[in-house]
């Protein structure tokens, strides 16, 4: 049977304080919590890739969001911060523009193409930056 080395459980946002280490036995080691307090409480480690006091390695969640997955996908990373689009227009040779096809009021279009390039941009909704901590 598959037994993960580290299970991530995301809890509700807790602002300011957490229960003391001796009172938080109901939270299993490896629990990840979004945190906005002034300092990391005893019994928790910042999720920055460091190792906890119990030997677990925290996921590096700086600048990332958490997405649900399966037990087989634990701690896999994905996504890209940017992307770009490129393309060209079709050849317009042989096309004529004008107001009257039966008279000489048309101008032939010479063969030409246009290149397209879109600048990179971030597409993020409004957000608040917090830290994630993991129970040792």
Position 6 confidence tier, pLDDT thresholds 50, 70, 90: very low
Q: Look at 123 and 130; give whichever has higher pLDDT.
A: 130
Q: How many domains does the chain have?
A: 1
Q: What is the mean pLDDT of the chain?
A: 73
Is 10 inside a domain boundary?
yes
Whether 45 maps to a domain, the answer reads yes
Does residue 88 belong to any structural domain of this protein? no
Domain assignment of residue 96, yes or no: no
pLDDT for residue 97 is more than 90: no
Rounded CA separation 50/56 (Å): 9
Which domain covers residue 50, as residue numbers?
A: 1-67+130-136
Select from 113, 11, 29, 121 the least CA-distant residue to 66.
11
| C-beta of residue 133 within 8 angstroms of C-beta of residue 32 | yes
Specify whether the CB–CB gap between 34 and 14 falls below 8 A.
yes
């Amino acid at each position: 049977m598959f037994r993960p080395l580290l299970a991530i459980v995301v809890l509700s946002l807790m602002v300011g304080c957490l229960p003391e280490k001796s009172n938080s036995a109901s939270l299993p080691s490896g629990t990840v919590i979004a945190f906005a307090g002034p300092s990391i409480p005893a019994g928790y480690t910042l999720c920055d890739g460091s190792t906890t006091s119990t030997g677990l390695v925290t996921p590096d969640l700086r600048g990332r969001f958490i997405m649900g997955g399966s037990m087989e996908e634990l701690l896999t990373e994905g996504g890209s911060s940017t992307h770009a689009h490129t393309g060209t227009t079709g050849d317009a040779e042989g096309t004529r523009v004008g107001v009257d096809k039966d008279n000489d009021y048309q101008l032939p279009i010479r063969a030409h193409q246009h290149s397209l390039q879109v600048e990179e941009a971030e597409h993020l909704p409004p957000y608040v930056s917090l830290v994630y901590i993991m129970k040792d």
